């Protein structure tokens, strides 16, 4: 980041009160560390259900700007109170485990859909200026209840810009892939299995997009600073075969194929051919613009946005794979707590942008 960009970022966050729903998770803790260590925010409120995790986080941080609020996004009244005086909300709370959501679909709807609606209502009524919701590649062409609820949540947040009426609250989303090293990711599982000499993979053909926690946090913060309301922001990410990642984490281990779980895909998609018709290349990321006239009127600095080619599809099986050496270096940095992003498909120093261009008949 250039000095001028750092100055603009510092000015944006200075004196602001920020709230993160689901803030005791992997993203929330990394976000809190970056924000509190590098920016002069007035306060950071962590809103979550688990008092033990809040206690552990408060013990680890010891920062007087940090506030811990017990509450559930299903509880609209509690959100109304928690959002008072807040400038920025990052909505990270969700039920995320695919098998658990498949087995408990109503609970997934209550948290991921109705909870999203509650966040929108509370933000508008409390006068929050910016709300960014964190979504997932599983929201694209969903085949499981988790993805379906996150797709619905995306639609709710984008339409929140019309639902707000004359109020000034802005709503946008980020959509990215698997977070390497986060709670529930495959990295802890492979590390645990490594000692046995055998790793389990559901299907050898499987591919995924990968992002590190620091990279995800920096991307979210940058999009909050730049959002005009209505965008779905998609970072350019590295893709990898699961077999390559397994060998990077545990070289020489045998791989047992155990079969795809309910609701699981072979490959993930971040932008479909249909979405690409109203999506743009913005350098290190893509923007999916809403198809509503209120966004056209808003402007949003789209003069620098480049339309995507006909038939563009951003899929993990066609985005250009990270090499085994790149993956092994990344895993080492993640374990050392100092991960930097891999070269991303479409980035100037990474895999070629045309690698993500797949014909619509594919």
CATH number of the domain encompassing residue 139: 3.40.50.720
Per-residue pLDDT of the chain (362 residues; tens, 9 = 90+): 678 889 999 999 999 999 999 999 999 999 999 999 999 999 999 999 999 999 999 999 989 999 999 999 999 999 999 999 999 999 999 999 999 999 999 999 999 999 999 999 999 999 999 999 999 999 999 999 999 999 999 999 999 999 999 999 999 999 998 898 787 788 889 999 999 999 999 999 999 999 999 999 999 999 999 999 999 999 999 899 999 999 999 999 999 999 998 888 999 999 999 999 999 999 999 999 998 888 866 655 566 789 999 999 999 999 889 988 899 888 888 888 755 444 555 443 333 333 333 222 22
Does residue 53 belong to any structural domain of this protein? yes
Threshold 0.85, pTM exceeds: yes
In a domain, 96, yes or no: yes
From residue 43, give the alpha-carbon distance in Å to each of 20, 27, 36, 147, 326.
11, 18, 9, 32, 38
Partner residues linked to 289 by β-bridges: none
Which structural domain, as residue segments, surrounds residue 53?
A: 1-176
- Is there a domain that residue 37 lies in? yes
Query: What was the pLDDT predicted at 342?
Result: 47
Please give the C-alpha separations between residue 248 and each of 4, 80, 189, 205, 329, in angstroms, as whole numbers.
Answer: 38, 46, 13, 16, 8
Long-range contacts of 186-195 (CB under 8 A, 24+ apart): 186/242, 186/245, 187/249, 187/331, 187/334, 190/245, 190/246, 190/249, 190/250, 191/249, 191/250, 193/250, 193/253, 194/249, 194/250, 194/253
Give the residue numbers marked as catalytic: 138
The SS3 of residue 362 is: coil
Nearest to 172 by CA among 288, 49, 302: 288
DSSP 94-161: ----HHHHHHSHHHHHIIIIIHHHHHHHHHHHHT-SEEEEEEEGGGSS--SHHHHHHHHHHHHHHHHH
Q: Does the residue 121 lie in any domain?
A: yes
Q: SS3 of 311, please? A: coil
Beta strand pairing call for 207-212 and 269-271: unpaired
Instruction: State whether the Cα torsion 262-267-271-274 is positive or negative.
Output: negative
* 222 within domain boundaries: no
Taking 3-state DSSP, the helix, strand and coil percentages for the chain, each rounded to the nearest 5, stand at 40, 20, 40
- Angle at Cα 63 formed by Cα 60 and Cα 67, nearest 5°? 95
Name the DSSP letter for residue 71.
-
Q: Decide: 55 and 24 in contact? Cβ < 8 Å.
A: no
What is the reported pLDDT for 263? 85
Quick check: 346 and 283 in contact, CB under 8 A? Answer: no
- What's the rounded Cα separation, in Å, for the pair 181 and 187? 6
**Cβ-Cβ contacts under 8 Å for 67 (sequence gap 6 or more):** 43, 44, 45, 46
From CA 291, how far away is CA 279, in angstroms rounded? Answer: 10
Handedness of CA 325, 331, 337, 342 (dihedral sign): positive
Domains in the chain, number:
1
Q: Rounded to whole angstroms, how far apart are CA atoms 180 and 267? A: 17
Predicted confidence at residue 332, as pLDDT, reads: 86
Instruction: Answer whether residue 88 is part of any domain.
Output: yes
With respect to residue 126, please indicate whether it lies within any of the assigned structural domains: yes
| Element counts in the chain: helices (H) and strands (E) | 14, 17
Q: Please, is 155 exposed, middle or buried when counting C-beta atoms within 10 Å of its C-beta (0-12, 13-18, 19+)?
A: middle
Decide if 48 is inside a domain. Answer: yes
Question: For 179, how many CA atoms within 13 A lie in the half-sphere containing its CB?
Answer: 20
């Amino acid at each position: 980041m250039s000095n001028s960009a750092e100055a603009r970022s510092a000015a944006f966050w200075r004196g602001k009160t920020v709230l993160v729903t689901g803030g005791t998770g992997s993203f929330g803790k990394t976000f809190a560390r970056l924000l509190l260590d590098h920016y002069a925010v007035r306060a950071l409120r962590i809103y979550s259900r688990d008092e033990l995790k809040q206690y552990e986080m408060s013990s680890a941080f010891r920062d007087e700007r940090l506030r811990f609020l017990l509450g559930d996004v299903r509880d609209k009244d509690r959100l109304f109170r928690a959002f008072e005086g807040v400038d920025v909300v990052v909505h990270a709370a969700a039920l995320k485990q695919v098998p658990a959501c498949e087995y408990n679909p109503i609970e997934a709807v209550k948290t991921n859909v109705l909870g999203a609606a509650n966040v929108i209502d509370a933000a508008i009524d409390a006068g929050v200026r910016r709300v960014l919701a964190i979504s997932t590649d599983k929201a694209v062409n969903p085949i499981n209840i988790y993805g379906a609820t996150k797709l619905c949540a995306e639609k709710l947040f984008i339409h929140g810009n019309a639902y707000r009426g004359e109020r000034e609250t802005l709503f946008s989303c980020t959509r990215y892939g698997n977070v390497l090293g986060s709670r529930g990711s495959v990295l802890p599982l492979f590390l645990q299995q490594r000692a046995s000499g055998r790793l389990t993979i559901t299907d050898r053909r499987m591919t995924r997009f990968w992002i590190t926690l620091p990279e995800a946090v920096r991307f979210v913060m940058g999009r909050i600073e730049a959002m005009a309301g209505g965008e779905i922001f998609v970072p350019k990410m590295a893709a990898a075969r699961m077999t390559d990642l397994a060998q990077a984490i545990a070289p020489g281990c045998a791989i047992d194929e155990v079969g795809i779980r309910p609701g699981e895909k072979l490959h993930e998609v971040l932008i479909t051919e249909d979405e690409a018709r109203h999506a743009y290349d913005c350098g290190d990321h893509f923007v999916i613009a809403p198809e509503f006239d209120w966004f056209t009127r808003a402007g949003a600095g789209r003069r620098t946005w480049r339309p995507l080619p006909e038939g563009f599809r951003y899929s993990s099986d066609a985005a250009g794979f990270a090499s085994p050496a790149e993956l092994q270096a990344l895993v080492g940095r993640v374990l050392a707590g100092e991960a930097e992003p891999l070269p991303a498909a479409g980035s100037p120093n990474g895999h070629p942008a045309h690698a993500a261009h797949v014909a619509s008949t594919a």
